[in-house]
């Protein structure tokens, strides 16, 4: 191994914390939450304003709370409560859904994603 090798390794390892800071840090927080109920127009709510929303889905009302830049399902008429267990969502791209109640919640930031994914 040479000195240049060592330099390359040190630079690579030293750049890692920056990457974590950049992509997992506060800069990557979302600004709005996009709530979609099946067959309805998506509704957008700012993550900056704390509020509690009652969203009417197929089974009944799901309660979504926005608090301190984070959003979560706190009550839902579904059986498994997966949406509630998924917890708080604050980062750009975070997504959760209550499939029985036909509601999805996703955090969006400045960039607009055209597709969720493409499969083959």
Partner 1 sequence: MTTTIASEREDHIIAWFAALAIAIHVLESAIPSPIPGIKIGLANVVTIVVLVNFGWRTAAWVSLLRVLIGSLVIGSFLSPTFVLSLSGACASLCVIGIAYALARQHLSVMGYSVLAAVAHILTQFWVAYLLFIPHDALFHLLPILVTVAIITGIVNGSLALAIQKRLKLLIYEP
4 binds partner 1 per the rule CB under 8 A: yes
Q: What is the spatial distance between Cα 97 and Cα 42, in angstroms, rounded to a whole number? A: 14
44 binds partner 1 per the rule CB under 8 A: no
Residue closer to partner 1, measured from CB, 11 or 39: 11
Phi, psi dihedral angles at 58 (to 5 degrees): -70, -40
Q: How far is the CB of 58 from partner 1 (least distance, A)?
A: 26
Residue closer to partner 1, measured from CB, 28 or 59: 28
27 binds partner 1 per the rule CB under 8 A: no
Residues in 99-118 that interact with partner 1 by CB under 8 A:
108-109, 111, 113-118
38 binds partner 1 per the rule CB under 8 A: no
Q: What is the DSSP letter of 68?
A: T
| Torsion from C-alpha of 101, 106, 107, 110, nearest 10 degrees | -140
Helix (H, G, I), strand (E, B) or coil at 7: helix
12 binds partner 1 per the rule CB under 8 A: yes
User: Which phi-psi region, left, alpha or beta, contains residue 68 (left: φ > 0; alpha: ψ -120 to 50)?
Assistant: left
16 binds partner 1 per the rule CB under 8 A: yes
9 binds partner 1 per the rule CB under 8 A: yes
Q: What is the spatial distance between Cα 116 and Cα 82, in angstroms, rounded to a whole number? A: 20
Q: What is the DSSP letter of 95?
A: E
87 binds partner 1 per the rule CB under 8 A: no
14 binds partner 1 per the rule CB under 8 A: no
């Amino acid at each position: 191994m040479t000195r240049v090798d060592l330099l390359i390794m040190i630079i690579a390892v030293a750049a890692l914390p920056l990457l974590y800071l950049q992509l997992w840090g506060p800069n990557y927080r979302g600004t709005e939450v996009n709530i979609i109920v099946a067959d309805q127009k998506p509704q957008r709510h700012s993550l900056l304003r704390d509020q509690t929303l009652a969203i009417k889905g197929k089974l009944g009302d799901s309660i979504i709370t926005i608090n301190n830049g984070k959003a979560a399902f706190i009550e839902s008429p579904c059986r498994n409560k997966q949406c509630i267990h998924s917890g708080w969502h604050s980062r750009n791209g975070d997504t959760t859904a209550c499939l029985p109640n036909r509601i999805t919640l996703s955090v969006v930031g400045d960039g607009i994603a055209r597709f969720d994914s493409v499969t083959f």
